[in-house]
Amino acid sequence: MTALTSYSTGTISVAANGTAVTGVGTIWSGTNVRPGDILQIGNFQTIITDVTDPTHLVIPPWGGGAQAGVAYVVWRVSQQRIAGAQAMADVSTLVAALNTTGFFWFVDVSLAAPDPSLGSDGQYALQPTTGKMWVHATGVWTYLGIYKGFSFRGAYDNAATYSVGDVQTTAGTSYVWINPAQGSGHPAPDMTYWQVLAAKGDKGDTGAVPWSNTTTWATATNYVVGPPASVVVHPLNKNIYLCIVPHLSGAFAADLAAGKWLLIGQSATEATSGTALAIGAGSKVFSAVTGFSYQNGVRLRASSNGSPTNWMEGVCLYDPAAQVITMTVDRTAGAGTFADWNFNRVGQPGAGDLSSANNLADLPNKPLARVNLGIPGVLRGYISGLTIRLRDHQPRSISRPALLRTARRLT
């Protein structure tokens, strides 16, 4: 005779007179444990009334005292394990679902309508292949229409086949196919097959001009943000600015610092200055308007506009807020004081740079320069026949030893 089957994986806990059993390491689902099976702990047994989840059971009040983390056995003797019992339970569930209001019957692709012998009032029938839907009312199936999502097909193709819910575009307007029968070769706007989904709008009016024509900035002028917004060119730095705060202009630098103008075009124009300064080395401070593209460290040459051969140059600092250019002059040409300066970018002179106009006067170590040029050697090579004219304009001869001593001193 076949022995009873059992399940005993994991451990369980239950309180005295408790109805909830908790398992650790248990799998009380599927066919392992079912309502109607017998739970045994030690010498005490009880029937299982429900399986809540894989780790929880429901039993009648437990009379075997409190148990915690103990071994157990489930004897598989439930009536639900008898062949056909579970199947009948599933059938009962299905029948209950069929009797629910709103239940869907599915219509085969070969049928034009649901089987009239099926369904109850309040239930629906759906044919998934076409999207057709019916409702059962007063004992008969009533057609509701086609319920199908959109399928976007892109631009219209006269050779393509379309069905209900297909969307295509023609001349900027979207159309959806509404005819129950599939078809092709029916371009929109044939209202037998197509319905407008989204129409192309009419061309709108011409918008306002966003910016005004560019004019030269002037003080005591009303500037606006538009449309059209005021656009000006600075009379000196030639930058182009857009008005972003309406205002009556005062000093441009102050208006710019207050955020009333937005730079939209950077000019390559160089600065000018009317500061009267004498040409010479050292620090020179020139007044210059704001807005130039100079960065600190730029090397500039300031030349007289009226006499451009008079100039000075050096590395500069530019302060647009204070509107000054500070130049550390290290090269000059010409002399005098001027107040008509033009600025231009120049390169950094290389090491040993000399000015031809100074005739070697800018050499820092002239004795060493004579040595490098070989002047003492030349003197020694031309001692014979050397005549020196003294202050009395009388030619005198100099002895060879004396001349050599002089040459050595030069060396």
The residues, ordered by sequence, that sit 6+ positions from 224 with a Cβ below 8 Å of its Cβ are 230, 243, 246
- CA-to-CA distance for 70 and 67, rounded, in angstroms? 6
- The proportion of the chain whose per-residue pLDDT surpasses 70, expressed as a percent, equals 85
Query: Do 312 and 372 sit in the same domain of this protein?
Result: no
| Residue 83, pLDDT score | 61
Which pair of tokens denotes residue 10? 């994991």
What is residue 156's three-state secondary structure?
coil
Average pLDDT along the chain: 86
Mean pLDDT of 45-58: 95
- 128: domain CATH number is 3.40.1620
Q: What is the DSSP string of 215-264?
A: EE--SS-EE---SSBPEEE-TTT--EEEE-S-EE---HHHHHHTT-EEEE
Asked, for residue 59, whether it belongs to a domain, the answer is yes
> If pLDDT is split at 50, 70 and 90, which confidence band does 135 have?
very high
- 66: domain CATH number is 2.40.30
- 235: domain CATH number is 2.10.10.20
pTM: predicted TM-score of the whole model, two decimal places: 0.36
261 in Cβ contact with 239 (< 8 Å):
no
- 188: domain CATH number is 2.10.10
Asked, for residue 362, whether it belongs to a domain, the answer is no
Q: Per residue in 84-113, pLDDT tens?
A: 666 777 777 777 766 666 678 999 988 989
Asked, for residue 92, whether it belongs to a domain, the answer is no
Query: Do 70 and 28 sit in the same domain of this protein?
Result: yes
| Residue 381, pLDDT score | 52
Asked, for residue 351, whether it belongs to a domain, the answer is no
Mean pLDDT of 216-230: 93
Query: Do 297 and 340 sit in the same domain of this protein?
Result: yes
| Residue 309, pLDDT score | 95
Q: Per residue in 322-349, pLDDT tens?
A: 889 999 999 999 999 999 999 999 998 7
Q: Name the residue range of residue 295's domain.
A: 272-345
Mean pLDDT of 403-410: 56
Asked, for residue 283, whether it belongs to a domain, the answer is yes
| Residue 324, pLDDT score | 92
Query: Do 15 and 79 sit in the same domain of this protein?
Result: yes
3-state percent breakdown (helix, strand, coil) of the chain, nearest 5: 15, 35, 55
| Residue 369, pLDDT score | 77
Whether the predicted pLDDT of 166 surpasses 90: yes
Q: Is the peptide bond before 228 cis (omega within 30 degrees of 0)?
A: yes
Whether the predicted pLDDT of 308 surpasses 80: yes
Asked, for residue 241, whether it belongs to a domain, the answer is yes
Structural domain total, the chain = 6
Q: Per residue in 200-218, pLDDT tens?
A: 988 888 888 899 999 999 9
| Residue 207, pLDDT score | 86
Asked, for residue 350, whether it belongs to a domain, the answer is no
Query: Do 276 and 321 sit in the same domain of this protein?
Result: yes
Query: Do 155 and 125 sit in the same domain of this protein?
Result: no
